[in-house]
């Protein structure tokens, strides 16, 4: 018996979401009195995983490009080799792509968007978000093997230092008629999925030409930029920045909303963020009811001042 966690890396570095999944895996392994094993592709070294409680790492070097079908099948073989009864994945785009394929391969029940350690092991019950963050659902997984997708920034990073032993793993790889022909990824920008802070703006900014200050504020905070639905529908910003019920969910530590009134669909998308700051001219904007801190004021006056003050703050605190 064991707990297996798939720890995703990007150019040799483990993603924060992967380390969070490992932290979660350690909590489950401890509760079940068993070991935590990680599966990696092309990982350089294992010590960082050891920090979060991983005792053994199976590393696959024989796969180059990402392919969901091949990855899912490799994870399945690792789970079988380690007799894993719980398999943990993160909420990254790739992990969400892999998980449903893996569930069919392992005949395992799958709960996605899980935000807390199991409340009970028998029956096996986890808490997940549903109705786009408007509610939580306590879900029982009744299969012998369970698959859990851990939401970003929910369980958190929990150090549990041990020594991780790495071994090479060479599964029999399946073939696939699907291949990636090109990747378009801005390497100098923080993605919404990986961001600790998101700076988001809405129609209150009046036009796409005014996004300079949003980007500058994001730069100062090391944040990703996002926008409301009308802004992406108007073509002011790309769809990939649209946050809300039909866009991306955001679960960051700090979400700053500028000139966004706070429609119910938008609030649903950002509900899992810990601290919300709202800047809006309209004191009656519904977003103020969902926020932790607010400034009633004109974004064109407030945001430049905020950037200036934050620069001073960052200079003093770095």
Partner 1 sequence: MKLLVCISHVPDTTSKINFTEGDTKFDTNGVQYVINPNDEFGLTRAMWFKEKQNATIDIISVGGAETEPTLRKALAIGADAAIRINAEAIDGHTVATYLAAAAKGGGYDLIIAGRESIDYNGGMVPGMLAAMLDANFVTNCISLEIEGTNATAVREIDGGKETISTVLPLVIGGQKGLVEESDLRIPNMRGIMMARKKPLTVVEPAAEASQTHSVSFEKPAPRGTVKLVEADHIDELINLLHNEAKVI
Give residues 30-59 in contact with partner 1 (rule: CB under 8 A): none
Q: Are 4 and 82 in contact (CB under 8 A)?
A: yes
**Contact region for partner 1 (CB under 8 A) — 52-60, 100-108, 164-172, 210-218?**
100-108
Check residue 135 for interaction with partner 1 (CB under 8 A). Answer: yes
Looking only at residues 215 through 254 of this chain, which bind partner 1 when binding is defined by CB under 8 A?
Answer: 221, 229, 233, 239-240, 242, 245-247, 253-254
166 vs 213 by CB, closer to partner 1 = 213
Query: Minimal CA–CA distance to 214: which of 275, 251, 258, 266?
Result: 258
Pairing of strands 254-258, 275-280: parallel
Residue 24 CB, shortest distance to partner 1, in Å, is 18
Residues 6+ apart with CB under 8 A from 309: none
Among 139, 154, 228, 261, the residue binding partner 1 under the rule CB under 8 A is: 139
Query: Minimal CA–CA distance to 286: which of 228, 225, 199?
Result: 228
46 vs 192 by CB, closer to partner 1 = 192
DSSP 8-state class, residue 216: H
**Contact region for partner 1 (CB under 8 A) — 30-38, 78-86, 123-131, 206-214?**
123-131
110 vs 169 by CB, closer to partner 1 = 110
Check residue 27 for interaction with partner 1 (CB under 8 A). Answer: no
Cβ-defined contacts of 41-45 (< 8 Å, 24+): 41/9, 41/71, 41/74, 42/9, 42/12, 43/7, 43/9, 43/12, 43/14, 43/166, 44/12, 45/166
Check residue 112 for interaction with partner 1 (CB under 8 A). Answer: yes
Residue 193 CB, shortest distance to partner 1, in Å, is 4
Interface size with partner 1, residues (CB under 8 A): 92
State how far the Cα of 91 lies from the Cα of 95, in Å rounded to an integer: 6
Among 93, 121, 163, 168, the residue binding partner 1 under the rule CB under 8 A is: 93
- Helix/strand/coil for 118: coil
Among 83, 161, 170, 305, the residue binding partner 1 under the rule CB under 8 A is: 305
Query: Minimal CA–CA distance to 152: which of 311, 310, 300, 8?
Result: 8
Residue 289 CB, shortest distance to partner 1, in Å, is 7
47 vs 246 by CB, closer to partner 1 = 246
State how far the Cα of 129 lies from the Cα of 192, in Å rounded to an integer: 19
Among 215, 216, 277, 286, the residue binding partner 1 under the rule CB under 8 A is: 277
Looking only at residues 161 through 200 of this chain, which bind partner 1 when binding is defined by CB under 8 A?
Answer: 176-186, 189-194, 197
Cα end-to-end span (Å), the chain: 45
Check residue 294 for interaction with partner 1 (CB under 8 A). Answer: yes
93 vs 157 by CB, closer to partner 1 = 93
Residue 45's Cβ-side half-sphere holds a number of Cα atoms within 13 Å equal to: 4
Residue 70 CB, shortest distance to partner 1, in Å, is 12
Among 41, 71, 110, 211, the residue binding partner 1 under the rule CB under 8 A is: 110
- CA angle 266/269/275 to nearest 5° reads 95
DSSP 8-state class, residue 110: E
């Amino acid at each position: 018996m064991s707990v297996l966690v798939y720890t995703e890396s990007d150019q040799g570095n483990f993603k924060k979401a992967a380390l969070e999944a490992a932290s979660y895996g350690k909590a489950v392994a401890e509760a079940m009195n068993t070991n935590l094993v990680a599966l990696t592709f092309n990982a350089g070294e294992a010590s960082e995983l050891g920090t979060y409680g991983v005792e053994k790492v199976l590393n696959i070097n024989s796969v180059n490009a990402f392919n969901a079908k091949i990855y899912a099948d490799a994870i399945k073989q690792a789970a079988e080799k380690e007799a894993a009864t719980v398999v943990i994945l993160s909420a990254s785009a790739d992990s969400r792509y892999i998980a449903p394929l893996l569930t069919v391969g392992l005949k395992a029940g799958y709960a996605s968007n899980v935000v807390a350690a199991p409340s009970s092991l028998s029956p096996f019950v986890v808490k997940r978000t549903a109705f786009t963050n408007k509610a939580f659902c306590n879900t029982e997984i009744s299969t012998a093997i369970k698959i859990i997708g851990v939401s970003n920034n929910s369980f958190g990073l929990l150090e549990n230092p041990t020594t991780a032993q790495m071994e090479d793993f060479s599964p029999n790889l399946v073939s696939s008629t699907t291949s990636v022909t090109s990747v378009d990824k801005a390497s100098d920008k923080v993605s919404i999925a990986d961001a600790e802070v998101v700076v988001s703006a809405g129609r209150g900014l009046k036009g796409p030409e005014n996004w300079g200050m949003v980007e500058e504020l994001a730069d100062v905070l090391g944040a990703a930029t996002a926008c409301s639905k009308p802004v992406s529908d108007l073509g002011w910003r790309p769809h990939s920045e649209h946050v809300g019920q039909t866009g991306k969910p955001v679960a960051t530590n700090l979400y700053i909303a500028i000139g966004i009134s706070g429609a119910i669909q938008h609030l649903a998308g950002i509900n899992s963020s810990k601290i919300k700051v709202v800047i809006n001219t309209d004191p009656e904007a519904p977003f103020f009811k969902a926020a932790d801190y607010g400034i009633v004021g004109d974004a064109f006056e407030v945001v430049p001042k905020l950037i200036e003050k934050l620069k001073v703050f960052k200079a003093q605190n770095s």
